[in-house]
Amino acid sequence: MRLRTLLFIGLCVALLASAAYFLNAGFGKRVGSAAAVSGTQTPMNLPVEDSSASPARPPPSGSLEYHSNRYHFSIFYPQGMQVSFFDEGAGAGTFTFQNVQAAQGFQVFVVPYGGNRIDEDRFHRDEPSGVRTGMREASVDGALAAVFYSTSASLGGTYEIWFIHDGLLYEVTTLKPLDTQLDGILGSWRFI
């Protein structure tokens, strides 16, 4: 019994340490992105963008709305998360939604994409580990999505949802233990 308790405590400490790294240093640095290679990323704390084309939706209790006219999406996210944006160059960008104290967060990497299916070359470019387990299909506001678990040398296990809409590829990533939370958040995703 004592050994199980020690193992459980060790697992919790490892999870919190990886979450802290993920939220403090790991987000916003996509391997292969123009800014990550050139080192020119500058995070910007962002308010909700002005959207005259799409009226704001009333968020559920405990949530806020973020919408991006540039990348054509709106999403509800938990209060307490800070939103930052990294311009990756060449039309790409990374949004981070994070609450470091609660060890919660996710990122949305968006890049122009000419195909209507995510090919292997794209997976290998943006997912250098090559790991995709538990692969399944889902829908994000009507867009077909690839949902899978992966791994990263710096982050450990990740949960990812990738989808294409109107010439943009969206790659949404969180830590593996936060998969259920991300599913709930993406249920609020709307293309605008």
Type of residue numbered 91: G
- The residue ranking higher by pLDDT, 16 or 5, is 16
Identify the pLDDT of residue 152. 85
Q: CB of 146 within 8 A of CB of 156?
A: no
Please state the rounded mean pLDDT for residues 57-83.
Answer: 95
pLDDT in tens, 97-134: 999 999 999 999 999 999 899 988 898 888 878 899 99
Per cent of the chain over pLDDT 90 is 61
d(CA 118, CA 20): 30
Please give the span between the terminal C-alpha atoms of the chain, in angstroms, as a whole number: 53
Q: CB of 159 within 8 A of CB of 62?
A: no
According to DSSP, the β-strands at 133-140 and 143-152 are: antiparallel
Q: Tell the residue number behind the tokens 């799409």, with chain if given.
A: 54
Instruction: State the number of CA atoms in the 13 A half-sphere of 81 facing the CB.
Output: 24
Q: CB of 65 within 8 A of CB of 184?
A: no
pLDDT in tens, 20-41: 444 444 444 343 333 333 333 4
pLDDT at 18 over 70: no
In whole numbers, what is the pLDDT of the chain averaged over residues? 79
Per cent of the chain over pLDDT 70 is 71
Identify the pLDDT of residue 130. 87
Give the pLDDT band of residue 55 (cuts 50, 70, 90): low
Sequence-ordered list of residues with C-beta below 8 angstroms from that of 65, at least 6 positions apart, any chain? 48, 56, 57, 59, 74, 75, 76
What is the SS3 assignment for 4?
Answer: helix
Residue ranges of E strands in the chain: 44-45, 63-68, 73-78, 82-89, 92-99, 104-112, 133-140, 143-152, 156-165, 168-175, 190-191
d(CA 110, CA 94): 6
Identify the pLDDT of residue 10. 35
Cα Rg of the chain, angstroms? 17
Give kind and range of the element (H or E) at residue 18. helix 2-21
